[in-house]
Amino acid sequence: MGKGAEIFLNYLESAGQSWWQILPLGPTNIIFGNSPYMSFSAFGGNPLLISPDLLVEEGLLEHAELPVGKTSEYLTDYRQAALEKQTILALAYKRFHANHHYGNQLDHFTKQHPWLDDHALFLALKEKFKDLPWYEWPAEYRVRVPGTLSAASKLLADRINYYRFEQYIFFRQWNRLKKLANQKNIQIIGDLPIYVAADSVDVWANQDIFQLEPSTRKPSHIAGVPPDYFSATGQRWGNPLYRWHDPDPAVETQLLKWWEKRLRTIFSQVDAVRIDHFRGFESYWRIKADEETAINGSWVPGPGLPFFLEMEKRLGKLPIIAEDLGIITPEVEELRDALEFPGMKILLFAFDGNTDNPYLPYNHTQNCVVYTGTHDNDTVLGWYMSSEVNNATKERVRIYSNRRGSEATAISDDFIHLALSSPARLSILPMQDVLGFGNDCRMNTPSTTLNNWCWRCAPRFLSSENSADLHSRTAFFDRIAKPQTTEGNKNSTP
């Protein structure tokens, strides 16, 4: 969140861009393949994003203490990054802990973020129990016996304070970055996974709102999606499901309160939010936890319109983008449209030969967001070069782009042209496509856990020539945003 992010913001500003969409900010775990969609905390931030340089500026580190190990400018090494961050954050914490002024700030921060006590205790207990999932801890910890937790809080006080410190630093640095972005007329679109990980502080601290086995506290049923474009056996995500429509009114009260806190927290961090798997609010795919694939599941009604109306009553107008990809029914579309949330249009899905295909640019409505592709797709160039994409599809792309040649090098530019010229309210361009990169730069392949979330954009690619070209194309389609008079915009969807 330091120099690297500032370089990128400067690039976006010079390129005439006004929205930056990010992946979820939550802590990641090597056990889950470093996926930001399988975090152990729905409220916390990822300490791997903390900038050591900013810690030096604050006097919490010496420049000579910064890591000097060789890192790739193209790929993230999560294991090395975690080891280095743990080392320098431990040093920073010692200096922080010795400063009474900082200690007062930490106490104030904790009072502002009531989720933090459970977050820090959970991580301290994970250390105590050798990183076992919480549902394999001794029973008194698993079921949260008050006296046991109170004693643990005293015994593990220093480690608990360290984890509070991590979040204090993360939020300080993130708030600084967001303020800088807004000053440059750039607003940030966050990403909210609908589900949380089974081994998370959220489930451990709120067991009554999830579908768990009474004895083991493991999920009884889990989330996923049936077979679709991405996987012939569906996607078995493994996340526990919420107890929507539970006959116990206390469960509904607690569930709504938890979601209110979650939405309030993310809207304090970003200017708008893409809700991942939006269709799960209309109906969700319910799989028995002992099933090996997602094939044998069933659709179950979600909380629907009343949920969002209740959240708007508590929080005001919600600037949300609905991720409405996959198997979408008229009921899901009705829910999205009733809330006036823009949906997503993915150009990589547009060229199947069906003239009614909703992803074709001439079928886009204004109230949508168009993407060349997403983090779950191949890059445009990688897709075009793939043997899995037939020649007829590639020919349709060339005809639609009014380009009869077969050269592949311009295909990314063609898709960017189609996205910018769409009637969609907002156009989002993955950096891999802006830079014309192939499938070695793909971000994620669904239903796999290896080699995902690793791509890095080296600063040398953010050239003045590239930003000038993107600015020119953005201006041509009148997509340069007018300067805002206030920091961020909490009352309007992109």
Q: What residue type is 310 in one-letter code?
A: E
- Cα 195 to chain centroid distance, Å, stands at 11
Q: Determine the pLDDT at residue 484.
A: 66
Q: Given this model, what pLDDT does residue 377 score?
A: 95
Residues 6+ apart with CB under 8 A from 248: none
Cβ atoms 397, 414 nearer than 8 A: yes
Q: Which token pair is 45?
A: 């931030």
The whole-number pLDDT of residue 447 equals 77
What are the residue numbers of the active site? 276, 323, 376
pLDDT in tens, the chain (494 residues): 999 999 999 999 999 999 999 999 999 988 888 999 999 999 999 999 999 999 999 999 999 999 887 788 899 999 999 999 999 999 999 999 888 667 788 989 999 999 999 999 999 999 999 999 999 999 999 999 999 999 999 999 999 999 999 999 999 999 999 999 999 999 999 999 999 999 999 999 999 999 999 999 999 999 999 987 767 898 899 999 999 999 999 999 999 999 999 999 999 999 999 999 999 999 999 999 999 999 999 999 999 999 999 999 999 999 999 999 988 999 999 999 999 999 999 999 999 999 999 999 999 999 999 999 999 999 999 999 999 999 999 999 999 998 766 677 799 999 999 999 999 999 999 999 999 999 999 999 987 888 899 999 999 999 999 999 999 999 999 999 887 654 544 444 56
Residue 205 and residue 141 in contact, taking contact as beta carbons nearer than 8 Å? no
CA angle 25, 443, 298 (to 5 degrees): 80
Which pLDDT score, from 0 to 100, does residue 264 have? Answer: 97
Q: Write down the pLDDT at residue 491.
A: 44
Name the packing angle between helices 116-128 and 146-155 (round to 10°).
80
482-489: long-range pairs with CB below 8 Å, 24+: 483/185, 484/182, 484/185, 487/179, 487/182, 487/183, 488/178, 488/182, 488/187, 488/271, 489/187, 489/271, 489/319
- Starting at the edge strand found earlier in the chain, the sheet holding 235-240 runs 235-240, 221-225, 283-288, 297-301
Closest to 343 in 3D by CA, of 366, 323, 373, 363: 323
Residue 370 β-bridge partners: 345, 427
